[in-house]
Chains A and B, each alone.
Chain A
């Protein structure tokens, strides 16, 4: 379905049946759910992707792998290679070189969780055998395209839709807890009490400004978390979006764009792919940035949300338009 809707690459996760027992860890990657549970499922995913002319990537993107987990991660990669898989998405830079060397039939893509967002890091990834660097969410268009231009020997991928993070994913050393324990730390019900670091009193004026800032931050959070995880009646997702930036990303030699949210329901993924594909087709057909933006903001429609800039992965597109 996703390939038929216009996705040319798909990615998935796998937690082998014995992983939890061996490591007392609920996942072999960054996500506790949304994973395939067996190699038979993985084989079917490879077959189905290839039958629809799509490539399939497998994530090995835990924040880090303990010494005892390295061999198990290699085993997963080896089985994926045997099944004819296409690429591994890897976050642990130590593991990148090991996998690139041992499984030359597989491409290695460095995950956004590696937090590599400069040309030197891209060069390091390329030197360790990676073929693609997936930039983290929090980069500017200028940064993404500068890295792509400066290190042309590695493909650059950037986020385009769904699932914002508050902290940098690779620099967030927390667990997405079950909801009853608080959920992701950035969504947990923390209360904040502002204070001066020198121990002095907050002036009434500063306290009022801090309160206004907190209210603005809460509004921004709502956008960052997919406008309250809402969709249009047709199922098109609100929330973090870089559709208006596609002309600049393409012009800047960014090789691929990523729709986040492999834990999401299939309907949401399908709607997301259709949205991105419809905009990308216009970009590839030569539509200018203004026409692309007009089309993208009418898709949901979401003009009012878009005008805030808080849904934007790359809000500088609004600044560029104002100029």
Chain B
């Protein structure tokens, strides 16, 4: 493999001791997390380099300052580099980020999934490095599609207008999902170095949260702006369509629908990695 970076994601301050272990320990770790022996064996050969911490999808999972401080400490102890994940931002998220971003060392990458956050990073926090996250790097990833729809599943990241926007906002890296119908040309022609997520793609995210309704009653049970008890950290739901032959397994986690890579996607990902088209693998650090 010609890429050199392996990032692990986390929404809370996780134990990172395994990351310093040898391949056997890492293989056990990945097998426990993702239950896929082939994936675990592949990832075991890679030393983690980054921790992507926070949430790309939920404003309630943006860490508090105390939690961020603890995560920064653990990352330093583990010898990893820290990357802050940020979600689509309400005005409240933006205000909280104004407390969090000054805590980050210069040169820290911040994954923006909101154009306003990217703009704030560029104009008010120039020492930080903005990365365009999966919400901004749009492509059709509907897990129900059959190959006849492949022509509609591209991305627009190479368009000159997007390149100009990335440049204007000082965005230096991208984060992507694997295309649903990835072939050997997948991920070619991207305008910036890309990190690619595995083993799931994000399909759709809401601001409404089904699991979040569990502890609510009344008119605002599924409304935005309500309280949250973070049920998604404990619970998930497998989503299936009776009578349909979908190639990918779909899971709802909080406000977001994820789809596990099909075998074809997983193989295409490895080929793209081997061909040097992926700058960083970004692996889910917690089981869905």
> Which A residues are within 8 Å of any B CB, using their own CB?
24-25, 63-67, 69-70, 92-95, 97-98, 114-125, 138-140, 142-143, 146-147, 165-168, 170-175, 177, 181-182, 185-186, 188-199, 209-210, 213, 216-217, 220, 308-310, 312, 315-316, 318-319
Contact of B241 among A63, A171, A190, A196 (CB under 8 A): A190
Contact partners of B172 in chain A: CB under 8 A: none
User: Quick check: A192 and B252 within 8 Å, CB to CB?
Assistant: yes
For A63, A97, A98, A175, which residue has the most chain B Cβ atoms within 10 angstroms? A175
Contact partners of B82 in chain A: CB under 8 A: none
The CA of A143 and the CA of B88, in the complex, are separated in Å by 14
User: Quick check: A121 and B114 within 8 Å, CB to CB?
Assistant: yes
User: Quick check: A197 and B142 within 8 Å, CB to CB?
Assistant: no
The CA of A23 and the CA of B62, in the complex, are separated in Å by 39
User: Quick check: A25 and B152 within 8 Å, CB to CB?
Assistant: yes
Determine if B234 is an interface residue (Cβ-Cβ < 8 Å): yes
5 additional contacts (CB under 8 A) given A64-B156, A173-B202: A66-B156, A172-B203, A174-B203, A220-B222, A309-B223
Contact partners of B140 in chain A: CB under 8 A: 63, 173-175
Contact of B115 among A121, A188, A209, A309 (CB under 8 A): A121
User: Quick check: A94 and B203 within 8 Å, CB to CB?
Assistant: no
Determine if B23 is an interface residue (Cβ-Cβ < 8 Å): no
Contact of B142 among A185, A216, A217 (CB under 8 A): A185
User: Quick check: B142 and A143 within 8 Å, CB to CB?
Assistant: no
Contact of B138 among A64, A118, A138, A312 (CB under 8 A): A64
Determine if B13 is an interface residue (Cβ-Cβ < 8 Å): no
For A115, A123, A220, A319, which residue has the most chain B Cβ atoms within 10 angstroms? A115
A67 to chain B: closest residue by CB? B159
Residue-wise, chain B 148-178 has the 8 Å CB interface mask toward A (1 for contact) of 0101101110111111110000000000000
User: Which B residues between 38 and 76 are near A, CB-CB below 8 angstroms?
Assistant: none
The CA of A209 and the CA of B214, in the complex, are separated in Å by 7
* Chain B: minimal CB distance from A315 (Å): 4
Contact of A138 among B151, B208, B220, B257 (CB under 8 A): B208
Contact partners of A316 in chain B: CB under 8 A: 220, 223, 225
Residue-wise, chain B 119-146 has the 8 Å CB interface mask toward A (1 for contact) of 1100000000000000100111110110
User: Quick check: A25 and B205 within 8 Å, CB to CB?
Assistant: no
The CA of A194 and the CA of B251, in the complex, are separated in Å by 10
For A97, A140, A170, A318, which residue has the most chain B Cβ atoms within 10 angstroms? A140
* Chain B: minimal CB distance from A128 (Å): 8
Determine if B240 is an interface residue (Cβ-Cβ < 8 Å): yes
- CB contact under 8 A between A70 and B117, given known A167-B206, A189-B242, A192-B238: no
Contact partners of B158 in chain A: CB under 8 A: 66-67
- CB contact under 8 A between A114 and B90, given known A177-B144, A216-B221: no
- CB contact under 8 A between A172 and B205, given known A92-B156, A118-B93, A309-B218: yes
Contact partners of A310 in chain B: CB under 8 A: 219, 222
Contact of A193 among B219, B238, B286 (CB under 8 A): B238
User: Quick check: B91 and A147 within 8 Å, CB to CB?
Assistant: yes
Contact partners of A63 in chain B: CB under 8 A: 138, 140
Determine if B89 is an interface residue (Cβ-Cβ < 8 Å): yes
* Chain A: minimal CB distance from B98 (Å): 10
B113 to chain A: closest residue by CB? A171
User: Quick check: A190 and B239 within 8 Å, CB to CB?
Assistant: yes
User: Quick check: A185 and B144 within 8 Å, CB to CB?
Assistant: yes
The CA of A186 and the CA of B138, in the complex, are separated in Å by 19
Contact partners of A94 in chain B: CB under 8 A: 156, 159-165
User: Quick check: A70 and B160 within 8 Å, CB to CB?
Assistant: yes
* Chain A: minimal CB distance from B187 (Å): 15
- CB contact under 8 A between A191 and B218, given known A24-B152, A25-B151, A118-B116: no
User: Quick check: A213 and B214 within 8 Å, CB to CB?
Assistant: yes
B119 to chain A: closest residue by CB? A124
Determine if B236 is an interface residue (Cβ-Cβ < 8 Å): yes
Determine if B228 is an interface residue (Cβ-Cβ < 8 Å): no
Determine if B9 is an interface residue (Cβ-Cβ < 8 Å): no
19 contacts between A and B (CB under 8 A): A64-B138, A64-B156, A65-B159, A94-B156, A120-B94, A139-B90, A139-B224, A143-B225, A167-B204, A167-B205, A171-B88, A171-B205, A171-B206, A192-B252, A199-B287, A216-B222, A220-B213, A309-B219, A310-B222
The CA of A120 and the CA of B236, in the complex, are separated in Å by 33
The CA of A120 and the CA of B86, in the complex, are separated in Å by 14
* Chain B: minimal CB distance from A102 (Å): 11
User: Quick check: A185 and B116 within 8 Å, CB to CB?
Assistant: no
Contact partners of A117 in chain B: CB under 8 A: 88-91, 116
Contact of B235 among A143, A172, A185, A197 (CB under 8 A): A197
User: Quick check: A193 and B223 within 8 Å, CB to CB?
Assistant: no
* Chain B: minimal CB distance from A113 (Å): 10
Contact of B155 among A64, A170, A197, A308 (CB under 8 A): A64
Contact of A65 among B156, B164, B214 (CB under 8 A): B156
Contact partners of A191 in chain B: CB under 8 A: 239-242
A139 to chain B: closest residue by CB? B224
User: Quick check: B156 and A168 within 8 Å, CB to CB?
Assistant: no
User: Quick check: B240 and A190 within 8 Å, CB to CB?
Assistant: yes
Contact partners of B214 in chain A: CB under 8 A: 209-210, 213
* Chain A: minimal CB distance from B161 (Å): 3
Determine if B12 is an interface residue (Cβ-Cβ < 8 Å): no
* Chain A: minimal CB distance from B83 (Å): 20
A147 to chain B: closest residue by CB? B91
Contact partners of B205 in chain A: CB under 8 A: 167-168, 171-172
User: Quick check: A194 and B120 within 8 Å, CB to CB?
Assistant: no
User: Quick check: A167 and B119 within 8 Å, CB to CB?
Assistant: no
